[in-house]
């Protein structure tokens, strides 16, 4: 069974499972995976349900290609609505980060377990992403903040050959509470 850092993937029925959070302050590595290799080995994500993958070059056009790839997967899987927009935005952010900071080919994987879609973006750099202080004037630096805000769960799987930054988005939305 696939697991995230909080245990087995669960159905997001009436209430959503709590999101995994990166707790690092700006300028520090942000990950559910701590800085020591023993923790990384014990808590590595085991997700074997990848249904589609592609390798992208470390080029500015890779973000657009990644969005097309994910959009095609969503259409084939019947995933529609706002979920698709969230998947496309977060995928573009992680692929852009991998191109800018990973400086290697980017491996994009996508899969589904029940109502949860997982996207993983891998590169050959083992350095962990860092959340930056958000500058309202800056044109970049918001990727990890967006992942934290929009994903139901997220984390990093680090191996000797590189890392995969991943996020989960539920295709089921919690019912709205009736106002009293």
pLDDT digits (tens, 9 = 90+) for 2-42: 333 333 333 333 333 333 333 443 443 444 433 434 334 43
The per-residue pLDDT of the chain, averaged, comes to: 74
Q: pTM value? A: 0.71
In this structure, of 17-26, 39-48, 137-146, the range with the lowest mean pLDDT score is 17-26
Give the mean model confidence (pLDDT) for residues 99-120.
Answer: 92
CATH 2.40.110.10 given to domain 30-170: no
What confidence score (pLDDT) does residue 139 get?
A: 61
Taking the C-alpha atoms of residue 74 and residue 151, their distance in angstroms, rounded to an integer, is 16
Task: 25-28: list long-range contacts, CB under 8 Å, 24+ apart.
Answer: 25/131, 26/130, 26/131, 26/132, 26/133, 26/134, 27/130, 27/131, 27/132, 27/133, 28/130, 28/131
Mean pLDDT is highest, among 37-46, 72-81, 129-138, 164-173, for 72-81
Q: Which helix (H) or strand (E) holds 121?
A: strand 116-123
Q: Which two tokens stand for residue 45?
A: 């994500």
pLDDT digits (tens, 9 = 90+) for 76-104: 999 999 999 999 999 999 999 999 988 89
pLDDT band, very low/low/confident/very high, at 105 (cuts 50, 70, 90): very high
Cα-Cα-Cα-Cα dihedral of 64, 62, 51, 153, to 10°? -80
β pairing state of 106-113 and 3-4: unpaired
Taking the C-alpha atoms of residue 170 and residue 83, their distance in angstroms, rounded to an integer, is 8
Domain locations along the chain: 30-170
Taking the C-alpha atoms of residue 5 and residue 14, their distance in angstroms, rounded to an integer, is 21
């Amino acid at each position: 069974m696939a697991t995230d850092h909080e245990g087995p993937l669960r159905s997001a029925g009436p209430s959503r499972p709590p999101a995994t959070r990166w707790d690092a302050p700006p300028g520090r590595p942000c990950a559910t995976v701590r800085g020591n290799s023993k923790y990384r080995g014990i808590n590595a994500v085991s997700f074997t349900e990848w249904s589609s993958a592609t390798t992208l070059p470390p080029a500015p056009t890779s973000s657009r290609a990644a969005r097309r790839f994910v959009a095609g997967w969503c259409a084939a899987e019947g995933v529609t609505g706002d979920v698709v927009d969230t998947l496309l935005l977060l995928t573009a952010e992680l692929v852009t980060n991998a191109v800018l900071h990973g400086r290697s080919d980017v491996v994009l994987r996508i899969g589904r377990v029940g109502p949860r879609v997982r996207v993983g973006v891998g590169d050959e750099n083992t350095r962990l992403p860092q959340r930056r202080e958000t500058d309202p004037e800056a044109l970049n630096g918001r990727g990890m903040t967006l992942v934290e805000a929009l994903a139901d769960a997220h984390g990093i799987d680090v191996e000797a050959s590189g890392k995969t930054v991943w996020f989960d988005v539920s295709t089921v939305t919690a019912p709205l509470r009736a106002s009293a």
